[in-house]
């Protein structure tokens, strides 16, 4: 388990959980209980909404605490003078000029984590962790479920506006309007935001090019691999439906085992 003590990342973590908890409060208290207390659909929405919230929390916690692929440091600092240093060419082992780790192809140094990460895509403050080989699956699941939860919230808000509470007094109506309006802006913003990131992540997987590699203009690492194989490298084997479940930890490729003694 890993956890990065980065102040901005911790603030984003608190903001993430706060936004989801607030959405849950508004949906239950000011939409379902207030606008549809006698509806036969009320129990269905309560169960489904909380199921999605649970999946958001599970996938997010997995993305936060799962090792993204930290390259081990060495105890005896062996002589790597015959190996290239810096970023390399993507197909060779190199020595990091920052942490001096002997790192496999496609590993990059994160200035926030202060370590090299296997197949690092980027450092994400919303999970207070790098997105790398070990946790990219959970990061994608988190994005997907946040998008689903956001658009579901938008639909529930619109439904409460179309069929408002007719028996509520003016104070209740005004309070409901205030909370649902805030939730509408929150859900629309985060829904679109994570949808764009999700599409970008899927594009990076299907074309086998991380964000770091795209910035460095390296092109696709393995352009001839089938798209399905590239997806299974991230989500693991099994039926695609199982890719939606944040329950199986990825195993690192054998080619990424360090050739020197780990700490």
Flag whether pLDDT at 168 surpasses 90. Answer: no
pLDDT at 21 (0 to 100): 97
pLDDT band at 259 (very low <50, low <70, confident <90, very high): very low
208-222: b (≥16 Cβ within 10 Å) or e: bbbbbbbeeebeebe
- Look up tokens 């956001």; give the residue: 150
> How far is Cα 250 from Cα 160, in angstroms, rounded to an integer?
42
Q: Is residue 105 part of a domain?
A: no
Q: What is the mean pLDDT of residues 95-114?
A: 87
Q: Does the pLDDT of residue 256 top 60, yes or no?
A: no
CA distance 109 to 96: 7
Quick one: residue 90, left, alpha or beta (phi over 0 = left, psi -120 to 50 = alpha)?
A: left
Structural domain includes residue 196: yes
Asked whether the predicted pLDDT for residue 5 surpasses 50, the reply is yes
Percent of the chain with pLDDT over 90: 54
pLDDT of 133 > 60? The answer is yes
Which of 36, 52, 26 is CA-nearest to residue 160? 36
Residue 165: domain span: 11-72+127-252
3-state SS assignment for residue 220: coil
Residue 21: inside a domain: yes
Using pLDDT thresholds of 50, 70 and 90, give the confidence band for residue 94.
Answer: confident
Compute φ and ψ for 32, nearest 5 degrees. Answer: -75, -50
Answer yes or no: is pLDDT of 157 > 80: yes
23 inside domain: yes
Domain contains 98: no
In the predicted model, what is the mean pLDDT of the chain?
A: 85
> What pLDDT is stored for residue 16 in this prediction?
96
- Is residue 44 pLDDT above 80, yes or no? yes
Q: Which residues are catalytic?
A: 124
pLDDT in tens, 49-71: 999 999 999 999 999 999 999 99
Task: Please indicate, yes or no, if residue 111 is contained in any of the structural domains.
Answer: no
CA 147 – CA 136 distance, rounded (Å) = 17
- At 126 the pLDDT is 95
CA angle (183 as vertex; 189, 195 as ends), nearest 5? 30
| 235-250 mean pLDDT | 80
Domain assignment present for 114: no
Predicted confidence at residue 261, as pLDDT, reads 39
Greatest CA separation for the chain:
79
Do 159 and 224 meet the contact criterion of CB atoms below 8 Å apart? no
Q: Which residues of 118-148 are buried (b: 16+ CB within 10 A; e: fewer)?
A: bbbbbbbbbbbbbbbbbbbbbbbbbbbbbbe
Count of the separate structural domains present in the chain: 1
Q: The tokens 């379902």 sit on which residue? A: 32
Q: What is the pLDDT of residue 218?
A: 62
């Amino acid at each position: 388990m890993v956890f990065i003590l980065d102040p901005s990342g911790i603030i984003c973590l608190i903001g993430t959980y706060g936004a989801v908890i607030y959405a849950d409060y508004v949906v239950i208290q000011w939409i379902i209980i207030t606008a549809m207390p006698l509806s036969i659909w009320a129990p269905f929405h309560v169960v489904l909404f909380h199921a999605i919230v649970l999946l958001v929390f599970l996938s997010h916690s997995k993305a936060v605490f799962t090792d993204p692929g930290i390259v081990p440091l060495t105890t005896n600092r062996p002589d790597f003078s015959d190996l290239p240093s810096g970023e390399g060419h993507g197909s060779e082992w190199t020595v990091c000029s920052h942490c001096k780790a002997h790192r496999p192809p496609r590993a990059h140094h994160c200035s926030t984590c202060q370590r090299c990460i296997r197949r690092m895509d980027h450092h994400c403050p919303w999970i207070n962790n790098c997105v790398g080989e070990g946790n990219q699956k959970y990061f994608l699941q988190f994005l997907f479920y946040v998008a689903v939860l956001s658009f579901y919230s938008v639909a529930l808000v619109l439904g409460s506006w179309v069929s408002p509470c007719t028996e509520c007094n003016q104070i209740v109506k005004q309070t409901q309007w205030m909370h649902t309006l805030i939730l509408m802006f929150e859900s629309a913003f985060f829904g679109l935001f994570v949808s764009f990131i999700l599409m970008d992540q899927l594009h990076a997987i299907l074309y086998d090019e991380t964000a770091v590699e795209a910035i460095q203009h390296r092109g696709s690492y393995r352009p001839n691999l089938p798209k399905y194989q590239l997806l299974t490298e991230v989500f693991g084997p099994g039926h695609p439906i199982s890719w939606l479940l944040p329950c199986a930890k990825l195993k690192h490729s054998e080619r990424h085992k360090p050739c020197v003694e780990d700490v």
